């Protein structure tokens, strides 16, 4: 299964592990779990970290009601779950207007 299909399937079917880190960041950044779940149809992988420390992970671009969010997620294929590491709204000082391209610093 392609990574994006696996991620979307897990999110759509509630096979999600919310890390402590993302739970703290969601509250601080005024992003809800529902926003992450309901934007699943707009997910696009914009960066891949296949050799990440523990599990392959990806930076996901998503939109919901004119809001752009980024999700850093890891795929735990063995346990058939997606781990959401963090979520944030991309800032214009680090990201181009498309919200998908990093600015050169």
pLDDT, tens digit, 9 for 90 and up, residues 64-86: 988 999 999 999 999 999 999 99
Please say whether the dihedral angle defined by the alpha carbons of residues 41, 46, 48 and 49, taken in this order, is positive or negative: negative
Dihedral sign for Cα 2, 53, 101, 10, please.
positive
Does residue 95 form part of some domain? no
> Tokens standing for 3?
């990574």
Q: 105 in a domain, yes or no? A: no
| Global pTM exceeds 0.75 | yes
Residue 1 confidence (pLDDT): 79
Question: Where residue 61 sits, what CATH number does that domain have?
Answer: 3.30.2310
pLDDT confidence of residue 104 = 85
Q: Is there a contact between 43 and 63 (Cβ–Cβ < 8 Å)?
A: no
Q: How many domains, in total, are found in the chain? A: 1
Q: According to the model, what pLDDT value does residue 66 have?
A: 87
Structural domain range at position 14: 3-88
Would you say residue 39 lies in a domain? Answer: yes
* Stretches in the chain below the pLDDT threshold 50: none
Q: How many CB atoms are located within 10 Å of the residue 77 CB?
A: 13
């Amino acid at each position: 299964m392609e990574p994006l299909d696996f991620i979307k399937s897990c999110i759509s079917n509630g096979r999600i592990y919310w890390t402590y880190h993302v739970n703290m960041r969601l509250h601080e950044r005024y992003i809800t779990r529902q926003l992450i779940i309901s934007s699943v149809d707009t997910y696009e992988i914009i960066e891949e970290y296949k050799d990440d420390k523990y599990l392959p992970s990806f930076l996901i671009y998503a939109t919901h009601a004119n809001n752009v969010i980024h999700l850093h997620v890891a795929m735990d294929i063995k346990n058939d779950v997606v781990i959401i590491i963090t979520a944030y709204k991309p800032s214009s000082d680090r990201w181009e207007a498309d919200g998908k391209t990093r600015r050169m610093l």
